[in-house]
């Protein structure tokens, strides 16, 4: 193992100011209510893991669970999102076609691109999905 170069910071130096009252928050995902997602979906549940109510001003983190043969709606919206597959296997449909997805895959979905997630496996497909909060004007 090489020597450590102490001149390279572990974290970049940034002017950070933490507003009064903001603190780190920690909870187990199972403490968050799982809600059935309806319109255009089949066998999909969502847990809102990190939200504005917890102090997250820029992004929300959601966890989806899709039952075998289930799917999200084919839809598009004006925000991008980032997806990390935690468990299972399935398909993501998008403008570029159909891609197989599985545990460990990372997906970037740009704004306005039609997309859908389908579970093609025998177990639940579970993934994290991060979305930005759009400026409310």
pTM of the model: 0.80
Which residue from 80, 98, 78, 82 is spatially nearest to 90, judged by alpha carbons? 98
pLDDT at 93: 96
Q: Which residue positions in the chain have pLDDT lower than 50?
A: 10-18, 20, 137
pLDDT at 22: 66
Domains of the chain: 31-132 (2.60.120.10)
pLDDT at 2: 55
Taking the alpha carbons at both ends of the chain, their separation in whole angstroms is 53
DSSP per-residue letters across 11-74? S------PPTT-------GGGSPPEEE-TT-EEEEEEEEE-GGGT-SSEEEEEEEEEEEEE---
Please compute, for residue 17, the number of CA atoms within 13 A of its CA located in the half-sphere on the CB side: 2
pLDDT at 98: 96
pLDDT at 135: 66
């Amino acid at each position: 193992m090489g020597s450590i170069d102490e001149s390279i910071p572990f974290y970049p130096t940034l002017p950070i100011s933490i507003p009064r009252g903001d603190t780190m928050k920690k909870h187990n995902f199972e403490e968050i209510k799982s809600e059935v997602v309806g319109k255009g979906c089949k066998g999909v549940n969502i847990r809102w893991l990190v939200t504005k109510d917890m102090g997250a001003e820029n992004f929300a983190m959601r966890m989806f669970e899709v039952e075998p043969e289930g799917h999200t709606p084919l839809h598009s919206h004006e925000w991008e999102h980032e997806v990390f597959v935690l468990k299972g296997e399935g398909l993501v449909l998008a403008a570029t076609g159909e891609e197989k997805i599985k545990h460990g895959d990372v997906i970037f979905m740009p704004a306005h691109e039609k997309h859908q997630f389908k579970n093609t496996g025998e177990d639940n497909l579970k993934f994290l999905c991060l979305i930005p909060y759009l400026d409310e004007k």
